[in-house]
Amino acid sequence: MSAPLFEKIALVGIGLIGSSLARVIRRERLAGEIAIATRSPATLARAEELGLGDSYSTEAATAVANADLVIVSVPVGSSGAVAAEIAPALKPGAIVTDVGSTKRSVIAQMQPLLPGNVHFIPGHPLAGTEKSGPDAGFADLFENRWCIFTPLPDTDPQALERLSEFWRRCGANIDTMDADHHDMVLAIVSHLPHIIAYNIVGTADDLETVTKSEVIKYSASGFRDFTRLAASDPTMWRDVCLHNKDAILEMLARFSEDLASLQRAIRWGDGEKLFDMFTRTRAVRRSIIDAGQEIDVPDFGRQVVEHPGAVMPAAKS
Amino acid sequence: MSAPLFEKIALVGIGLIGSSLARVIRRERLAGEIAIATRSPATLARAEELGLGDSYSTEAATAVANADLVIVSVPVGSSGAVAAEIAPALKPGAIVTDVGSTKRSVIAQMQPLLPGNVHFIPGHPLAGTEKSGPDAGFADLFENRWCIFTPLPDTDPQALERLSEFWRRCGANIDTMDADHHDMVLAIVSHLPHIIAYNIVGTADDLETVTKSEVIKYSASGFRDFTRLAASDPTMWRDVCLHNKDAILEMLARFSEDLASLQRAIRWGDGEKLFDMFTRTRAVRRSIIDAGQEIDVPDFGRQVVEHPGAVMPAAKS
């Protein structure tokens, strides 16, 4: 049997991403030893019950000692605190990476605190679900998803290749770009959609003329599609909003401009403009399906009641 | 074997809804005869190839002759034209209903044109997918979905009960409310979500700093969820916008106000406000799942590559 890719991997944070990593690292034998750290004793106990690692600690510094690869999977607002905590304990030559949804801010928080003798390679696997916590993870989470690196000017190519190989063996495809561009891309493909989803669910929740129970009963006619994103982890998304402010405000401004224009077309009964707009957006979905980033099942296949793992209570009135 | 619920049912329009009705009517033996009409010869030919009915015509008046139940399933902007066409040919005592997503406008268009000796009962099954056309329909579409009636003051209770029984046997649950309230409820649960989805997909499509291929590649991180709604039938949605203008403009105004407030919280770094907002929206999704209007599979179960009917091309780079 070949040697594992890393002797020891430390996972700092064991939520959806961290626990998915633990599972795929084990399945693919990517580490001789998995050390898990999280500040919450309850979460740590659960990770241990699930048997996700080989050692467990509430101290990140303990977990990273002697680790060849350290993966920080915490809300981006905690990146700086984690860097401060692990810096003195890092093994020289170790690779330190993260999975945060914003990159400029993570770099600004972590880089100044990390020692010069480790390889800090900011990363972001574009994978997730609306669930959170160590129970939510699964080994296939990264399969055919993208992992984006935003290397620093002095990033060692060999370390980058080693980390890329790690993520490929987790199932991911690799891309690299600079941090500014990453933050702009993610603002449109991920941050704006989540903010809009949170907002519309909030708007519906506040109405006086339509009751909450009506919103829920009739949600299958469209509203429901937004609630998945709006059920995502609040701490993670608060931090994303606070740490990718500029790009998010830019995308929000564009979105609101476009919406004002659409609203005007509705007010003035401009059917041609509405038709044109509603036509061109169809092609985008087709491309996403062709790129393997979506399944071509109507209504996401929700009608398939025998869906593996589906919980579909009978709610006939 | 018991007699079918109706001797003859005429389906005017044979898209997603009409063709789903044809299939469930056949399966549940709800009609002795199914007559199908659509103005498009190509669509009619396809319906015939699929064997959806017993007779086929491009003239709605031909199909409705002698029918006991007439179901109009056309974009709401065409309701008046259909009513004018079928009015002289309707059988006295027939039930005439529709499936349109707006009710005030449909009533205003159809009621004045229909003869007094038929039962006109406006209806709206809250069911659909992003697909359209006669191939897109399936017999289970209405299973555990709601069908809302907006009866007129002089609606005959017996006719309403007969139509309710029809929809129950199609799998639906029945609700009744007045047309104004229907249009307000649908504006928030269906029309606003579709408009927002069309808008965000349009915004992303227009960016200069982020390429279309990047939007597509990285869409699984949130954007993708909006593209299903934004792939819906453009004619149908143009008509909905034009025919439920007041309620939609009201909901758009509320949405934009809320978004401006959220945007301000992002600009000024108000993490507490963001966290509170992102927390309360989680509960809404839980209620929708508990009400049987959603499946509790992370990411809609998209990770399940063996999903029945799923087309998931391998797109490894």
Dump pLDDT digits (tens) for A184-212: 999 999 999 999 999 999 999 999 889 88
Q: What is the mean pLDDT of residues B45-64?
A: 98
CB contact under 8 A, B266 and A242: yes
Cβ contacts of B304 on chain A, cutoff 8 Å? 307-309
The reported pLDDT for the residue numbered A3 is 87
- Of A275, A282, A309, nearest to B238 by CB-CB distance is A275
Contact A292 B308 (CB under 8 A): no
Rounded mean pLDDT of B21-40?
A: 98
Q: What are the C-alpha distances in Å from B152 to residues B81, B87, B121, B123, B157?
A: 20, 18, 7, 11, 11
State the average pLDDT for chain A: 93
CA B229 – CA A200 distance, rounded (Å): 14
Q: What is the pLDDT along chain A (317 residues), one digit of tens a residue?
A: 578 999 999 999 999 999 999 999 999 999 999 999 999 999 999 999 999 999 999 999 999 999 999 999 999 999 999 999 999 999 999 999 999 999 999 999 999 999 999 999 999 999 989 999 999 999 999 999 999 999 999 999 999 999 999 999 999 999 999 999 999 999 999 999 999 999 999 999 999 889 889 999 999 899 998 999 999 999 999 999 999 999 999 999 999 999 999 999 999 999 999 999 999 888 888 899 998 888 888 887 775 444 334 344 444 33
pLDDT digits (tens, 9 = 90+) for B280-310: 888 888 899 998 888 888 887 775 444 334 3
Query: What ipTM did this prediction achieve?
Result: 0.91
Q: What pLDDT, on a 0 to 100 scale, did the predictor assign at position B305? A: 42
Chain B residues whose CB is inside 8 A of the A294 CB are: 219-220, 224, 227, 302
Q: How near does any CA of chain B get to the CA of A4, in Å?
A: 24
pLDDT in tens, A28-73: 999 999 999 999 999 999 999 999 999 999 999 999 999 999 999 9
The minimum CA-CA distance between B49 and chain A, rounded to whole Å, is: 22
Contact assessment for residue A103 and residue A179, using Cβ atoms and an 8 Å cutoff: yes
- Domains of chain A (ranges plus CATH)? 7-177 (3.40.50.720), 181-295 (1.10.3660.10)
Q: What is the pLDDT of residue A303?
A: 55
Q: Does A169 touch chain B (CB under 8 A)?
A: no
Considering only residues 198 to 257 of chain A, which have any Cβ-Cβ distance to chain B shorter than 8 Å? 198-207, 209-210, 212, 214-232, 234-235, 237-239, 241-242, 245, 248-249, 251-252, 254-256
- What pLDDT, in 10s, does the model give residues B230-272? 999 999 999 999 999 999 999 999 999 999 999 999 999 999 9
Task: Pick the residue of A103, A189, A213, A228 with the most B CBs within 10 A to test the interface with B by mutation.
Answer: A189
